[in-house]
Structure 1
């Protein structure tokens, strides 16, 4: 999470959406940069609204806007699947080594998710308690140029992103049957991604 006080802007870091590269590029000019532990680095909107925003409003009477990135849900899950296939997770319940992408997504669709598929929800991350999207400025990962354009204008700087924290290479092919199930059972994930289209 990055806070830009003068610009009244907070960048909320949705996992697996290029946030490490953005934080590396903008961290040096941020007034506050939270990178650890992960539960603070990847603070969802509800937690921000519960703990950080009230403190700001009470002490400084400043209205803060939020910005976040969401990714195509299939690609987002694919990134998690590849990330958890890395050798250092071998033998860990989170490991996806030797597992098909279909099996990983099937686990994600369960109410009680197995550890390897328990990766959260982009829709929940950017939404308020009662469901509607609450992030002020929402961008698609697939259109990062538009995010960069927005941030450059808002922060009055030039931005160049390096490639950091990439998931291992690997095949991420989802069967048509599993894709249909994913789209049917997680409509909210695809809806949020579509809303972010500009």
Structure 2
């Protein structure tokens, strides 16, 4: 499977104009509306009225309501990857704190876009494009985490165990479900204030087979 790539250009009938304020306004309005009501209760007319544009103007930017959700998901993913880039690139530090920092950044971004998460959850099963994008995003996370686990094993901090990719998949799916349950108010779910610490402890125990791995000397 190819790595994740942004799909905003696919959401429009014409090539995307960089920095287009109107497109951003549509996405901002959609995210705000989705924070107030379920996806099925948000119409294209609602989006048009929120931004103050005509129907032809809306369709210049997005071919459908699903295309708006795609662009919102794309925007959320890019924000999440950007927020965790520094954490993954700062290799060689304290293992526990590095993983905690990355998980915290991911949880924070997820929380800031919980309305998008809910909309994706409502439409993913029925919409192949949204399902495909979500799969690509998860695949990118898995590859990134696999690489980090392999690095920890190579530098002698994490012991060999199950294949790194399989471990990365299990941990990624756990985070996805735990964050989704919390952001959508499901029960049972983990306490929001404890989520980062709990996930971090599970990750560290799974990767290093110890609750607090030591930073390598030298």
What TM-score do the two structures reach when normalised by structure 2? 0.32
Which has the higher Rg, Structure 1 or Structure 2?
A: 2
Task: Work out which structure has the larger RCO, using CA pairs closer than 8 Å and 6 or more positions apart in sequence.
Answer: 1
The structure carrying a bigger helix percent of its residues is 2
